[in-house]
């Protein structure tokens, strides 16, 4: 177990400079955002997508007070399904922080959050993302062949899901959850 302090919380305007720096220094994050040319574009993203309400929980991940990534469950529909996505800043990768955060948020979503089925997809050429999904309790359901076109190359995507009735994994590192619709280890 890590001694790191992990916090999932709503995004805030004061995150924009650090988020912009992370985005500028990690070209792979361009796949996670609409085209970003400035902090203003990131602010537009924040206003449009990064919210916590009855249908979305798009959370900033902090590790020891420093912005370290994003974990989200979005789009609760009448079937109580949601889509999960996540990314980590380079300095936080490979340490289990993203896995702990995804596990904690999905545990909340499938209990207090009211979702029943959570889905995600990861590039088959991204085994680290696959490990996060597996350790967070997601079960592979199949492959969508050549779904993404990235840098001129067709990439297969592995699709996985987790149901409220599936076993509930526990994060190896405790994660505090904070936000309007988020409950549990709230502050």
Per-residue pLDDT reduced to its tens digit, 72-125: 999 888 999 999 999 999 999 999 999 999 999 999 999 999 999 999 999 999
The CATH architecture that domain 6-177 belongs to is 3-Layer(aba) Sandwich (3.40)
Selection from 138, 133, 38 nearest residue 86 by Cα: 133
Calpha distance 109→101 (Å, rounded): 12
**Per-residue confidence band for 2, with pLDDT thresholds at 50, 70 and 90:** low
Calpha distance 62→66 (Å, rounded): 5
Selection from 127, 122, 163 nearest residue 143 by Cα: 122
Calpha distance 64→160 (Å, rounded): 30
Helix (H) or strand (E) holding 23: helix 16-25
Share of the chain above pLDDT 70, in %: 95
pTM, 2 dp: 0.90
The domain segmentation of the chain, as residue ranges, is 6-177
């Amino acid at each position: 177990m890590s001694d790191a302090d992990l916090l999932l919380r709503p995004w805030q305007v004061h995150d924009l400079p650090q988020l912009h720096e992370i985005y500028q220094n990690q070209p792979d994050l361009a796949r996670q955002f609409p085209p970003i040319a400035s902090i203003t574009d990131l602010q537009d993203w924040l206003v449009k997508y990064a919210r916590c309400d009855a249908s979305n929980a798009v959370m900033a991940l902090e590790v020891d007070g420093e912005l370290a990534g994003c974990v989200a469950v979005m789009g609760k529909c009448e079937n109580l399904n949601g889509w999960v996505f996540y990314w980590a800043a380079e300095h936080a990768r490979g340490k289990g922080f993203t896995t702990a955060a995804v596990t904690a948020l999905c545990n909340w979503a499938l209990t207090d959050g009211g979702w029943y089925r959570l889905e995600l997809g990861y590039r088959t050429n991204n085994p680290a993302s696959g490990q996060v999904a597996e350790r967070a309790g997601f079960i592979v359901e199949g492959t969508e062949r050549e779904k993404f076109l990235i840098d001129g190359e067709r990439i297969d995507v592995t699709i996985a899901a987790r149901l409220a009735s599936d076993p509930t994994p526990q994060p190896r590192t405790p994660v505090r959850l904070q936000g309007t619709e988020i409950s549990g280890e709230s502050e």
